[in-house]
Amino acid sequence: MKLTRAGFKTAFLLLVLTFILNLAAFAAQSDAKALFDRYQAVYKSYREAVENQADAAEVSQLAAELQAACKEYYNSIGVTASFSSDDQAEPVLSSDTETRGSDSSTATRTGSRVVSKKSELQKKYESIVLALAAPDRSAKLADIQKQLEDFIAGCTDQKLLKEATFQLADLVLERTSSLAKAQEVLLSYAKSTKDAENRRQAMAHIKMLRQKSVVAKKREEFKAIQQTTVNQWGKYSKTSWLALPVKLFGLGSYGVNNIQRRFKARELDKALEEFDRSVLETYPAGSADALTRSRLVPLNRVRMLVNGRTSFHYRLEYAKRAQSNLYVQTLLFQDDETGNALTDIMCERAQSGVDVKLILDDFFSFGKKDGVIQRLRNAGVKVLINNPILKNLAKANFRSHQKLFIIDETIAIVGGMNIGDEYAKGEITEYGWRDTDVELQGPVVREILGLFERNWEDLTLSKWNETGEISRQKKAKTDVNTFKGLKNADKLIRGPIPVYFAVPPVFDDVNARFVTTAPISDKDDNILDLFEIYLNRARSEVVFQSAYFIPTDRLVTAIEDAVLRGVEVKVITNSIESNNHPSGGWAGRDSYEKVLRAGARIFEWQGAQTLHSKVSLFDQFAVTLGAYNVNSRSHSCDSEDVIAFEDFRVARAFRQMLNKDFARCREITLEEVQSWNSDMMKKMRMEFFNLFKFMF
């Protein structure tokens, strides 16, 4: 096609205009980058002045400079920055993109935090969500269904409409066991919505509910054959050997039923795996939910339980009050003062009719089963052992590191603490470890309960045989062991760690995300994915606190990218002297140089007790804690869990906690690490133990 003279002129003018616009955009981008760098520099000076308790006049001057730099930067990118008071250094930001398209709430951003003014529509929906999470929900399903239906009929917010519709479909299936009725709810929504992604999620939800129905059917079949197998064992065990033919026939019948039970267990296990895959398809494509296989759950109450003095006070008090069930999962359950105190309570509750269950890992309960574990079994506590070592030597290195403490399906305590004196005595004795838990109440407890129930079911399905017996009534040993402190305590800061919070902080209406990872079955590390997502969102500061620090190359790369954006990344971990596994500390030090060269800073704990806390802070918009260490085992070997809070109030409180931890740390410089590398003995030790980092 021949280009006319007029057409050529028009094309030339468009080309020139495009060039001018691109040049202007590049200039604006350069100006914005310069303003951002200035803002970050002033912000860092302001933070240091506040943390170092500088003169009030100096802090006020820096606050004024920070306000001016902040306004200039945000105005350059089309965002309005304002300050609610003259002495507020951090801004309240607003832009059209943050509030457009939803009438559920009015959002503003404060520094790294979001403050939402909830609409009446949002409040109404949240009241329904709380009803769905309530312990007495089963008696109110019809009423809750009516509330959801009425809400959907008058909902003008598309996001809330989608969430409420999916909740209604789940509730209809639970209440009526009718897959057709649940599908009808979702099909009606899929036909009416104009959003293609919402339509895809609705159809994926239908597929998930279908698979859920399959799981329910397979579960009933398994329970039936399981009970038959138990009955056959009962008949066999009660038959005298004097009636040898009858005895042998009973044994044969039990064997046949046990084989059928194992066959049904495999069917149920496959159905559960298919259900897990169907759940993944229900997450919004490319979202944090899809990447981490989790959902952000609102309306939770959070109590910080910093150190064992506080955590075990609440653990024991709640356990004493358990009325319907008490579920515990832990790596370690020690035969010491703390282990025996909890054992007394669990035994008493079990004998009072409470459903008490305990999941332990075989590696750390090996050789301890004649003490508190036998006492628990004798009292009627149901105990299952994860991944017996002798059953499958090929998977002996894959352990369960998850730590769950659930009372009456309404309260959960999660974090880093196992059951033992070293954890419970934090802030009480010198040897008491530094560790962190949280108490949770609200909708997210159902997520945590779901993990325990799934773990229990998986262990039940993997049994080689089923007799229905808890255990033989063997006499339990009553020896009480004592924990010894660190060998090199004289090289550290002596004495118990100070009290972090005299009264543990409590926060309501918190958004929480419960994330798990299981390297045996998962192909990815969901928790590492979460860390990367938060690292990418961070703008000023990230802190990784990990008892054992051996980062993957993937995490180091993410840290380097964050540092290049101006984020200050800090790591808190044990020194060799404070590490309860010094060989793991040497393995970790082999990675220090690449972490420091990526731009991060490393601080080693100097307290006269092991640092066992696993907390990560991202600006003031998110904080995570749980069982997951930033090390090789958590990434590739152990089943793990973390709870993440996206709430500036919670993040700010954890920052106060971390400030106290930094006070007991010593910073490790690149020059010091290079001196280790030039020391032949230290270098050989680091490289040798790094060969076995998969064990640490």
pLDDT band at 379 (very low <50, low <70, confident <90, very high): very high
Percentage of the chain beyond pLDDT 90 is 69
Q: Tell me, what's the pLDDT at 637? A: 77
Helix (H, G, I), strand (E, B) or coil at 587: helix
What distance, in Å, lies between the first and last C-alpha atoms of the chain? 69
User: Which run of H or of E encompasses 14?
Assistant: helix 5-51
Task: Assess whether 297 and 269 both reside in one domain.
Answer: no
Q: Give domain status of residue 471, yes or no.
A: yes
Min mean pLDDT across 49-58, 222-231, 313-322 is at: 49-58
In a domain, 438, yes or no: yes
- The answer to whether residue 111 scores a pLDDT higher than 90 is no
Give the model's pLDDT for residue 39. 64
Among the three residues 491, 523, 558, which one is the final residue of a domain in this structure?
491
Residues 360 and 261 in one domain: no
Confidence category of residue 79, pLDDT binned at 50, 70, 90: very low
What is the reported pLDDT for 44?
Answer: 67
Answer with the residue of higher pLDDT: 151 or 468. 151
Residue 157: strand pairing partners: none
Regarding whether 299 and 259 lie in a shared domain, the answer is no
The mean pLDDT of the chain is 86
**Do the domain assignments include residue 278?**
no
**Between residues 97 and 399, which one has the greater pLDDT?**
399
419 token code pair:
């059951």
Residues 558-572 have a mean pLDDT of: 96
Whether residue 478 is found in the same domain as residue 552: no
Among 54-58, 368-372, 614-618, the range scoring the smallest mean pLDDT is: 54-58
Please provide the DSSP assignment of 149-187 as one string: HHHHHH---HHHHHHHHHHHHHHHHHHH--HHHHHHHHH
611's enclosing H/E stretch is none
Which range of residues forms the domain containing residue 52?
7-94
pLDDT, tens only, 470-529? 766 788 888 888 898 999 999 999 999 999 999 999 999 999 999 999 877 776 799 999
How many domains in the chain?
Answer: 4
Span 85-99, pLDDT tens digits: 444 444 443 333 333
Rounded distance between C-alpha atoms, residue 194 and residue 202, angstroms: 12
Amino acid at residue number 380 = G
Question: Does a structural domain hold residue 296?
Answer: yes
- Assigned domain for 435 exists: yes
How many angstroms separate the CA atoms of 368 and 653, rounded?
38
- DSSP letter, residue 370: T
**Which of 79, 94, 109 represents a domain boundary (last residue)?**
94
Residue 111 belongs to some domain of the structure: no
pLDDT, tens only, 19-65: 554 454 445 445 555 665 676 677 667 667 765 667 767 767 877 78
User: Is 328 inside any structural domain?
Assistant: yes
**Mean pLDDT along residues 96-104:** 35
5 has pLDDT over 80: no
Say what the alpha-carbon torsion angle 267, 273, 274, 279 is, to the nearest 10 degrees.
150
* Residue 323 pLDDT: 96
Q: Do 420 and 387 have their domain in common? A: yes
468 and 534 share one domain: no
Instruction: Give the best-scoring range by mean pLDDT among 65-79, 389-403, 524-538.
Output: 524-538
What pTM was estimated for this model as a whole? 0.82
pLDDT at 76: 54
Answer for the pair 171, 141: CB distance below 8 angstroms, yes or no: yes
Domain containing 666 — which CATH number?
3.30.870.10
The domain boundary, picked from 94, 113, 136, lies at 94
Shared-domain flag, residues 669 and 520: yes
